[in-house]
Structure 1
Amino acid sequence: MASGSTQPLADPHRAEIERQCARLVHVYANANDAADWDKVAALYAEDGVMFRPTAAADGVAGRDRILASLRARPPRTTRHVCANVVVDVLSETEATGESAMLLFIGSAKPLVGSFHDRFVLTDEGWRFAERRGSLTFGA
């Protein structure tokens, strides 16, 4: 479901859910740039699915497989800048979100894209049920 296409949850906790989900987006970017793969993988639900912007058709399902996929990456220096984060609360346990992403990789040309996220409330707190990246410019 596209971000902005639902009515916001009329609940006093909506703003807090939005804040927590938006925080996940930013924590993800910082942990990714620090190559803290354990932290990045822990931001997904156990059965979460990750679609990288550079491989948008190839999902990696499950926290353990996501972690293995991240650890298999060659080392690199990156800086992710996330903006225009909009979270739509669907219920007390589900939300969707969209954000713009600018990725700097060393001296390479920056990549510009977006993430479309599905968030779910777990026993560990809010996590990504699905994180689907795509590129608009670059590659």
Structure 2
Amino acid sequence: MDDRTRRDIEHDCERLCHRYSHVIDFGEAARVADLFHDDGVWKTPEAEHVGKPAILKAFTARQANARRMSRHVCSTVVIDVADADHASGVTYIQLYRHDAEPGRRVSPLADQPVIVGEYHDTFLRTPEGWRFDRREFRAAFVR
């Protein structure tokens, strides 16, 4: 594989990581399911959801909590390309989250961030483009 192809894959996978954060933070959490392939896995210390329908159900519930405001601040992304169809990566995350008062869209930052950790990802190229095969959150610090 040439360097340009490897960089393109790294870029596409990193963009997928950022898209994940944006759809959650901007009130469209149910769209997270579209970022996984059909048999994808989303795992946290509390739960594991296997397949798009299970992921959709979990993130539809998150989207329904309109009071919850969040910002996933992601950095230090490293993507390792295995081949033209497979990659893996780690992304650091700081999660700022608050349940706002009804009608209020600005929240205090007391006791923030609530979680610091990493996403450990595997990626798969699909006919629709790169998708998560597995996204696992691992906490390093929890408030």
Q: Normalised by the size of structure 2, how large is the TM-score?
A: 0.83
Q: Which residue of 1 aligns with 2:56?
A: 67
Q: Which runs of 5+ in 1 are unaligned?
A: 1-8
Answer whether contact 1:87 1:97 (CA < 8 A) is retained: yes
From 3, 24, 28, give the equivalent of 2:20.
28
Q: Report the Cα distance in structure 2 between the residues aligned to 1:18 and 1:36, rounded to whole angstroms.
A: 25
Larger Rg over CA atoms: 2
Q: Which residue of 2 aligns with 1:6?
A: none
User: For structure 1, which segment, 115-124 or 35-44, has the greater mean C-alpha deviation from structure 2 after superposition?
Assistant: 35-44
RMSD of aligned alpha carbons = 1.6
Q: Does 1:105 align with 2:97?
A: yes
Q: Which runs of 5+ in 2 are unaligned?
A: 99-107
Cα shift at 1:12: 3.9
Deviant stretches of 4+, over 3 Å: 9-12
Identity of aligned residues (%): 37
Q: Which amino acid aligns with 2:134?
A: E
Q: Normalised by the size of structure 1, how large is the TM-score?
A: 0.85
Q: Which residue of 2 aligns with 1:5?
A: none
Q: Report the Cα distance in structure 1 between the residues aligned to 2:30 and 2:128, rounded to whole angstroms.
A: 15
Equivalent pairs counted in the alignment come to: 128
- Per-residue Cα deviation, 1:66-90 (whole angstroms, up to 9, x for no partner): 0101112344100000000000000
